[in-house]
Chain A
Amino acid sequence: MRRRAAGLGLLAAAAAVPLVVRSEYVIGTLTLMCFFAFVGQGWNILGGYAGQFSFGHALFFGIGAYTSSLCFLKAGLTPWVGMWLGAAAAVLVGLVTGHLSFRYGLRGAYFALVMLAFAEIFRVAATNWDYVGGSFGILVPLQGHAPRLFQFGDKRYFYYVILAMLLAVTWAVARLERSRLGYQMIAIRENEAAADALGINPYRVKLAAMALSAAVTALGGAFYAQYFSYVDPTIGFGPGNSIEILLRPIIGGAGTLWGPLLGAVLLGLLGESTRGLVKSYAGLHLMLYGAILMAAVVFLPRGVMGALRSLGGGAAERARA
């Protein structure tokens, strides 16, 4: 109950921000936070709950961004539909890559690198295929304020769209956490051999996690392409994007419902504050970012949620004593 009340309060506050704050900068920052929380939640399903650490989620992101943009550019199909086609395509690719990897029980570092390689395949292919824009990428043709085409004259609309998407995925993952599939995923993460012995089929559960994770990440990619009206092979499929996707849920706490959101808010604030401090040197804020990341790994090994939980757990134990 408290969890739901806290969630609703947070949602109300987030929804009210654009009514109070007019600054495009603030709305833009919040939009990106929600966006990173969204794709982070997509990664979290496979990497956090099912424990299959993917290093190539840009694969699904890029497929979502490219599919929705191409459907619009080539066939005039609205991205509201195209984004679902992108999700379907990502699920398909996820099932193929998942089959190749999970069939023999590839996991850990091996699986992480295999996913990275698959994303690279798509990046190289997209760079060299002129039909999809080659290395230049795709500019989504602007139509002014056209809500039916997922284009808005005012950035606040994008904020509400991604907020709604984030709400939906948070709700869905909260349900997943308490579902049969969710428990099976966690069991496989904690001990695959034991889960197998209990009659869980790791191959099928991991494939299911991969499909859900791919779909969510692809929807995020489609949003990105509409929000920036642009996608290119490196933005879409590049290793840098894969890193961006997994960073927030891990900092926040992988395998927790609120981890991706918490990570997105913290890294968002961090990025904005350090960017302001060190505007004059290109790269300096990323350098600090790297240093802070290393410190976080040492001092917050289970993410912020993990640290909060052990604090809470400690308090509860003291209360019992």
Chain B
Amino acid sequence: MSADVVLSSLANGVMLGGLYALVALGLTLIFGVMKVINFAHGSLMMLAMYATFWLATRAGLDPYLSLVVTLPVAFAFGYAIQRAVIAPVLRAPEHNQLLMTLGLALFLDNLALVVFRADPRTLLVAYSQTTVPLGPVRLNLPRLLAFAGALLISGLLWLFLQRTTLGRALRASAEERDGAALCGIPVGRVYAVAFGVGTACVAAAGAMAVPFFYVSPEVGNTFVITAFVVVVLGGLGSFPGALVGGLLVGVVESLGGLYFHGSLAQIGIFALFVAVLLIRPAGLLGARHA
């Protein structure tokens, strides 16, 4: 196998990994702050993909430009969902929280099935097949844009969490709910913000994948199962863990695809996962034992 093929597969893996990382970031942020695994994460991604698809086909909006619309809407939607659906079960046993997000996922996925039907749709943009040369490999432009977007959004999220008052309030609520509340932080609203930001992350990942990925009512699940592996790999609730885990999983999947065809490429991800579990069960960058 020539070096170029391996390099180009590596590059594809990194670009795909950026999207996985963004999906996982949303998941890990929501988990880190309110200790809830959002099983509806994939459904939220799917909704964003449909929104992007319809904005492109009906209103002629470029999928990357329409982020200006979809991201604020996704944030508001996530905020509202947290208030309406997640907040009532925050002090309930863990499995009831999971069941709640599961019910939400069932509801949203099948709502999409009823409204949009099961047929997968693909969006072709003018630059779908455009490539950008980078050394010996040529990168697919939409994938490259998605990767750059994922990095940009992750960076902004990091700045938001580290530098803004709201970001600090969010981290404080994650560390110690009651302590944060005693300091005057409106924990309930902060939680809703966290859910909104997590939703915006996964919505961005979905929207940016539309030019090179099909849209269907169950498309989110494909990404989110991988994202679950990513967060366990990186350590639940760990921001850098989600980034590193996402990139790693993207690369392993892509390189695996060179040697195994079809979905067997994913076996590499799971082998990695079991290996990490054997050696570092709290995840690569997990600070604590779960």
Contact = CB atoms under 8 A, between A and B. Distances in A.
Interface string B247-287: 00000000000001011101100100110011001100000
Interface residues of A, number: 46
Contact of A297 (B103, B114, B232): B103
Interface in B175-224: 217, 221
* Interface class of chain A by DSSP: helix
B106 interface: yes
B276 to A, nearest CB: 11
A116 to B, nearest CB: 6
Interface stretch (B85-93, B125-133, B155-163): B85-93
A107 interface: yes
B114 A293 contact: no
B113 interface: yes
A171 to B, nearest CB: 26
Counting chain B residues whose Cβ lies within 8 A of the other chain, the interface size class is 35 or more
A55 B98 CA distance: 10
B96 A290 contact: no
B274 A112 contact: no
Interface in A75-117: 100-101, 103-114, 116-117
Contacts of B267: 121, 124-125, 128
A300 B270 CA distance: 36
Majority SS at the chain B contact face = helix
A108 B110 contact: no
B95 A250 contact: yes
B261 to A, nearest CB: 8
Given A124-B264, A125-B267, A290 B105 contact: yes
Contact of A283 (B103, B110, B289): B110
B110 A287 contact: yes
Contacts of A254: 95
A125 B265 CA distance: 10
Nearest to B116: A283
B94 A53 contact: yes
Contact of B118 (A105, A107, A109, A282): A282
Interface of A: 47, 53, 55, 100-101, 103-114, 116-117, 120-121, 124-125, 127-128, 239, 243, 247, 250, 254, 281-284, 286-287, 289-294, 296-298, 301
Interface of B: 31, 35, 37, 85, 88-89, 92-96, 98-100, 102-111, 113-114, 117-118, 217, 221, 225, 228-229, 231-232, 236, 260, 262-264, 266-267, 270, 273-274, 277-278, 281-282, 289-290
Given A109-B31, A286-B109, A293-B102, 10 more contacts: A47-B95, A109-B37, A113-B228, A120-B270, A124-B263, A281-B114, A287-B107, A293-B99, A297-B89, A301-B89
Q: Which 5 pairs across A and B sit closest by C-beta, in order of nearness? A: A290-B106, A290-B107, A283-B113, A293-B103, A110-B290
